[in-house]
Amino acid sequence: MATLNFIYGTMKSGKTLTLLAEAHNFKSHNRNPYLLTAAGDTRSGIGVIRSRVGITASAQTFDASEDLYEKIRQSHLENQIDIVMVDEAQFLSRDQVFQLSDVADELGINVRCFGLRTDFRGELFEGSAALMALSDHMSENTGVCASGCVANMVLRMGTDGVPMIDGPQLLVGGEETYEAVSRKIWKERMRSAMNNPSRAVV
């Protein structure tokens, strides 16, 4: 029986590296992995998945309006897909997570989704919340906070180096925008930012 899996973690926890390594292993056995990434994430180019260590792979893209079940079904009819791997899964809509569960349940293709669990405010992304509700299996890739503790939260940094306390949930950015930290550090720095009367809100 095929399964839907959610692998989550902060930035720099190795999620994308894991995805690319698994995809490489499938290809080395003449298997066909179907890679998907968010259309809005163009940091490495359109339809490119890139790890911070420099490994890349081409991928199909998705936006919030697409029916991923139909997209994958059509591709599967043309060239049999052995596994679906989704990068930046926090950008999925709730409906798209249901569609990916249909890929597993109706097409019999394993689906592995890699993404963030929570945003800079400590709130679940829509896609991540749906994955946590529907996934057969979940696992966490852990990063390291500058404090030496496990990094399981993310701060969105302003240009002045102070954490942002408000703003749009979905905002593509790298290390210039986000910082992975432990929960303790996240709480301390968010509380400090909230008590700063000059803190800009975007």
d(CA 7, CA 42): 22
Domain presence at residue 30: yes
Domain presence at residue 8: yes
Domain presence at residue 116: yes
Give me the active site residues, please. 88
Q: What is the pLDDT of residue 174?
A: 58
Domain presence at residue 66: yes
Domain presence at residue 185: no
d(CA 35, CA 24): 11
Q: What is the pLDDT of residue 53?
A: 73
Q: What is the pLDDT of residue 44?
A: 66
- Please tell me the pTM assigned to this model: 0.88
Best CA proximity match to 72, nearest among 96, 89, 88, 91? 96
Domain presence at residue 155: no
Domain presence at residue 168: no
Q: What is the pLDDT of residue 70?
A: 97
> How many domains does the chain fold into?
1
Q: What angle do CA 98, 103, 107 make, to 5 degrees?
A: 145
Domain of residue 81, residue span: 4-141
Q: What is the pLDDT of residue 91?
A: 93
CATH number at residue 20: 3.40.50.300
| Averaged pLDDT, groups of 10, the chain, 202 residues long | 96 90 95 93 76 83 94 97 96 97 98 95 95 97 90 86 77 73 92 69 40
Domain presence at residue 194: no
DSSP-assigned letters across all residues of 19-54: HHHHHHHHHHTT--EEEEEETT--BTBTTEEE-TTS
Q: What is the pLDDT of residue 200?
A: 45
